[in-house]
Amino acid sequence: MSGAPSDTGVWVYEDFSPGQSLGDHAVTLDAAHIGHWTAIYGEPAAGDRVPAGMLVAAMMEAYLNAIQPRPPGNVHASQKLVFHRMARAGDRLNAQVSCLAKERRKERGWVTFGVVLSTDGRDVLSGEIRTIWAR
Amino acid sequence: MSMLEPAALPDELATVAIETGPEIVASYAALTDDYNPIHLDPAFAAGTAFGRPIVHGTLGLNLVLEAIERTFGEVPATLSLDARFVRPVPVGTAIRAGGRLRDAAAGLYEVFVETSAGERAVEGTCTIMPGATPETKGTNAS
């Protein structure tokens, strides 16, 4: 998905609809990702299995790149995660990003996005990102 | 991913802590491709309700997963997590994550991220299903 669908220049609340696909996005768990991870959390555990949090980071990367440009001021309110299996360094993850739900509450637009990470056709992580969308 | 029995569930998760300085936040921005100035630009952040840069929410949430992996040695066979970001964390704040067992039969832990002052930034639960196997869970576990 590239570019905002509305003429506002950014993705706004009205652009989203439950069930809407926001595209597939690839994230490779390459040396750069592992290097950034290590700078924050320290060396991953032994072996080539990546830390679970690195999958969360990959989910966020896919989600952020799926919906651009974005308005400033979005709030990440809550997060659901279900891990299905782990991934290994070098794996190329496919992320399917979608809009799961949205609602207006107290003049705020709440949007829930789904991201499913998979590799070789097998699910790795399912996540739900609940946001207060700024516009 | 490993199988666990209820008796193997400890009362508390290991505690994991980090200092969230600007370099750490910059690394997380690079890791996730999230260069939102609210996390990185003091001048921009000064004009927001937060007043200063705040840490990415999942930077802290990942500490919970680190606590789980440190406790069990790896991610358990079935792991789900539901968390709310209840308070922003200013960049430069020391944070720690952990969890406490609430229901051994259900494999339910209360999990949290908090500042060194004890202010909760993330609250939630995680479920580690004892005895589950990777082949019997998930929606696409072929």
User: Using one digit for the tens of pLDDT, what is the confidence trace for A61-96?
Assistant: 999 999 999 998 899 999 999 999 999 999 999 999
Residue bearing the bigger pLDDT, B9 or B121: B121
pLDDT of B141 > 60? The answer is no
Q: How far is A111 from chain B (nearest CA, A)?
A: 15
Please tell me which of A1-5, B37-41, B134-138 the model is most confident about, judged by mean pLDDT.
B37-41
The position carrying tokens 């079935």 is: B78
Cα(first)–Cα(last) distance of chain B, in Å?
A: 16
> What domains, with CATH codes, occur in chain B?
6-128 (3.10.129.10)
- The per-residue pLDDT for A33 is 96
pLDDT of B135 > 60? The answer is no
Q: How far is B74 from chain A (nearest CA, A)?
A: 8
- The per-residue pLDDT for B74 is 80
The answer to whether residues B77 and B91 touch, using CB atoms and an 8 Å cutoff, is no
Which residues in chain A are closer than 8 Å to B141, comparing Cβ atoms? 84-85, 122-123
Q: How far is B7 from chain A (nearest CA, A)?
A: 22
Which of B23, B58, B73 has the CB atom closest to A79's CB atom?
Answer: B58
Over residues B90-102, the pLDDT tens digits come to 999 999 999 999 9
Show which residues on chain A lie within 8 Å of chain B, measured between beta carbons. Answer: 32-33, 36-37, 39-41, 45, 49, 51-53, 56-57, 60-61, 64-65, 72-73, 75-86, 118, 121-123, 126
The arithmetic mean of pLDDT across residues A115-125, rounded, is 96
Over residues B26-45, the pLDDT tens digits come to 999 999 999 999 999 999 99
- The per-residue pLDDT for B83 is 98
- The per-residue pLDDT for B5 is 62
**What integer best gives the mean pLDDT of chain A?**
93
The position carrying tokens 């799961």 is: A100
CB atoms within 10 A of CB B81: 24
Residues 70-129 of B with CB under 8 A from A: 73-75, 78-85, 124
The arithmetic mean of pLDDT across residues A45-54, rounded, is 84
Which of A32, A52, A60 has the CB atom closest to B32's CB atom?
Answer: A60
Which of B33, B82, B142 has the CB atom closest to A122's CB atom?
Answer: B142
Over residues B54-81, the pLDDT tens digits come to 999 999 999 999 999 999 888 877 899 9
The one-letter amino acid code at A22 reads L
User: Which H helix or E strand runs over B37?
Assistant: helix B37-40
**What integer best gives the mean pLDDT of chain B?**
88
pLDDT of B133 > 60? The answer is no
Which residues in chain A are closer than 8 Å to B1, comparing Cβ atoms? 83, 85-86
Q: Do B134 and A84 touch (CB under 8 A)?
A: yes
Q: Which two tokens stand for residue B119?
A: 């202010």
Closest residue of chain B to A41, computed from CA coordinates: B18
pLDDT of B18 > 60? The answer is yes
Which residues in chain A are closer than 8 Å to B54, comparing Cβ atoms? none
ipTM score for this prediction: 0.93
Residue bearing the bigger pLDDT, B95 or A48: B95
Over residues B41-50, the pLDDT tens digits come to 999 999 999 9
The arithmetic mean of pLDDT across residues B80-84, rounded, is 98
The arithmetic mean of pLDDT across residues B110-131, rounded, is 92
Residues 6+ apart with CB under 8 A from B46: B52
Q: What whole-number distance in Å separates Cα of residue A67 and Cα of residue A111?
A: 12
pLDDT of B134 > 50? The answer is no
- The per-residue pLDDT for B78 is 84
Q: Is A33 helix (H, G, I), strand (E, B) or coil?
A: helix
Closest residue of chain A to B61, computed from CA coordinates: A53
CA gyration radius for chain A? 16
